[in-house]
Amino acid sequence: MANKDFKNIYNYQPLDPHDPKMPSLTKTPSSYEKTQTLDLNEHKSTKEPTQELVFESDKPKKKSSEVIIEGLEDSKKSASSIISKLKKQNEITQTTELEPELVTNDFVFPDPKSELNILNSFAHKRMTSYKELNETKARIKMSRGEVRIKLTQEEIQLVLNKFKAKVVKVTQKEVVLKNNKYGFEIYRNGSDKRYWVVATCFEEIWDPKSTNYMNLWTGNSFTGYGFHNFNETLEQTETMMTKGKTGWIMWKDHVIDWNKDTNRFYSGSEPKQFSYNEYKKIVKWYKENKIWILVKQEKVKDIEDLMEENKEKRRRGEKIPALSTIQEKLLQPPRKASLVYGYPVANPNYKGKDYVKPENKLYQIGFAYSE
């Protein structure tokens, strides 16, 4: 389309300029004459009751200045009431006199011993629980009494004079003996008021300085006897040392020597008596090297002895016989050290009466067949 055609669009003219349907943007006096007014009074229905129509715009409105003034008056009233209350409080505070004790400039710290102190609240709770526990224990002890009654000095002396070197521990409530594999405990029970002798078991190897032991149990019962007479208790103790399970002890062999460098015990049929100092060294060495210690029997050749002989022959340049290979298969190695029990014996050179002291005794070590 040419530019001339675009210009004709803006210069458009209708065919009939007097067309009544064509709108006009300009008002003429004729247009005002054609407008009609609607009278509401003429169109009121005679059937319906007459009602006056009230519009929101017909209501009289208050001026904005009047509304603001009313709000100011309310706020003035409330402010004046508040000011009057503050004046009254000020007068009261000025007239009242404070006590001099309450007025101080010192900084007050919280009481560290108070239960309300946060830092010590847990400690106070723990202390109260301990106090209740101790009170409960005291009540039980008062109701049940002592578990064991103290032995008299005469009774303790009777035991010392009768068993001497076998006594390893003495207290006011019990006397502990160590016979061989087993031991015995003599005490007086607080419930039945009887004297009791009870068999005990000790650790391997028994240490004289720490007498740790426990009662010997067989099934659900322990090995022990109770008497009302103290002399009968001592007689029963002698019987248990020589008869029954606690008296008949089958020893495999006994320690006659030991070697700390090679971790070896040397055993024989006859026990050797060791002094306290040497026995103490054996106990320490055994506890530190228990899993490495082996036992070599006296006058019995084992595979270790054969290997030492062959080593010595090679060093001298001698020929090793063929029979040694057969001997290696037949000979047994040294056995593992187990079921080792130490016990005290009387020292013939000691003439005193302090039998409880371990330095005044001699000691023997044996290997048992079973526990």
- pTM over 0.75? The answer is no
pLDDT, tens only, 98-148: 555 555 666 667 677 776 666 676 776 777 777 888 888 787 777 766 788
| Predicted local distance difference test score (pLDDT) of residue 321 | 85
Distance CA 242, CA 183 (A): 12
| Predicted local distance difference test score (pLDDT) of residue 187 | 95
* Residues composing the chain: 371
Q: Answer for the pair 246, 240: CB distance below 8 angstroms, yes or no.
A: yes
Q: Answer for the pair 272, 364: CB distance below 8 angstroms, yes or no.
A: yes
Q: What parts of the chain have a pLDDT lower than 70? A: 1-10, 12, 23-74, 92-108, 110, 115-119, 121, 124, 144-145
Beta strands at 361-368 and 340-346: parallel, antiparallel or unpaired: antiparallel
The angle formed by the CA atoms of residues 70, 71 and 76, to the nearest 5 degrees, is: 100
pLDDT, tens only, 216-238: 988 888 899 999 999 999 999 99
Q: Answer for the pair 355, 245: CB distance below 8 angstroms, yes or no.
A: no
Distance CA 152, CA 280 (A): 32
